[in-house]
Amino acid sequence: MRDRWGDKNYTFVGADPTNKDGAVMQLDKNEHASDEALEQYAMGSLGEPILGEIEEHLLLCSQCQNHLKEIDAFRAAMRSAAAHVEREGESRKRFWTGLSATFSLGRLGWALALGGLVIFGLALRVWMSAPEKSPPVALFLATSRGAEVRHAPARRPLELSLDTTALAAYPAYQVDAVDAMGRMQPQPQTRVAEGKVQASLPKGLAPGTYFIRLYSPSHELLREYGLVVE
């Protein structure tokens, strides 16, 4: 509620509003009490003579009266919220205390058996509802003139075959996947088979635009392939 009524400076001579010894507040009919003074008044922490000055001003100033009502409403709401949290804590405490008292040693076995059945039922439900693994999507990526940007479904395993035409042959390569912002994605699993570079992304990629980068063993960038995941 700070600075609610504008940027006017209100002057306190001798001490600030929290000082109860000899402070005299200069406040005429055209000025308003500060937020701090009204908040301390609402909390009952102001002393004389500031308390008297504030009460006299409130008798004449409807703007400060409304501001004080807002402060009181806010403090009441905070107290209500705190009481609600405390009641919830007590309710949970009584629930667990009553539950502990209900299950005596003679009933503990039945409770454990029932709990085991519930856990088994939940596990069976999760197992039956688990989606089947999707087969990987195979794509051939090329950078030659006229080659189209390839598209792939999101979050599906990807098997990428990279075009290495006219590139020097290496026994191994490094492949990185980055998004349009240059952020690294999970490292593809790379292998060379029958003269082709294969890169696997078992978990696929989220929707977006990506660049698959092919490096030599000395980390020299050889090619960059575009891939749109939808």
The predicted-structure confidence for 111-124, as pLDDT tens digits, reads as follows 677 788 889 888 87
> Which of 53, 86, 105 represents a domain boundary (last residue)?
105
Same domain, 192 and 96: no
- Work out the average pLDDT over 206-220: 94
Distance CA(168)–CA(154), nearest Å, equals 32
In the chain, the percentage of residues whose pLDDT exceeds 90 is 33
Quick: pLDDT tens for 178-206.
999 999 999 999 999 877 899 999 999 99
**pLDDT grade, residue 175 (50/70/90)?**
very high
Under 8 Å between Cβ of 174 and 190: yes
Residue 141's H or E segment, with its range, is: strand 137-141
Same domain, 83 and 141: no
Same domain, 141 and 95: no
Alpha carbon 2 to its chain centroid, in Å, reads: 28
Quick: pLDDT tens for 2-42.
333 333 333 333 334 444 443 344 455 567 888 888 888 88
> Which of 50, 83, 105 represents a domain boundary (last residue)?
105
Range of the domain at 101: 1-105
Q: Please state, in angstroms and as integers, the Cα–Cα distance from residue 96 to each residue in 83, 92, 101, 108, 115, following that order.
A: 20, 6, 9, 15, 16
Predicted structure pTM score: 0.44
In a domain, 119, yes or no: no
Same domain, 100 and 147: no
The full DSSP string for 12-55 is EESS-TT--SS-EE---TTS---HHHHHHHHHT---TTHHHHHH
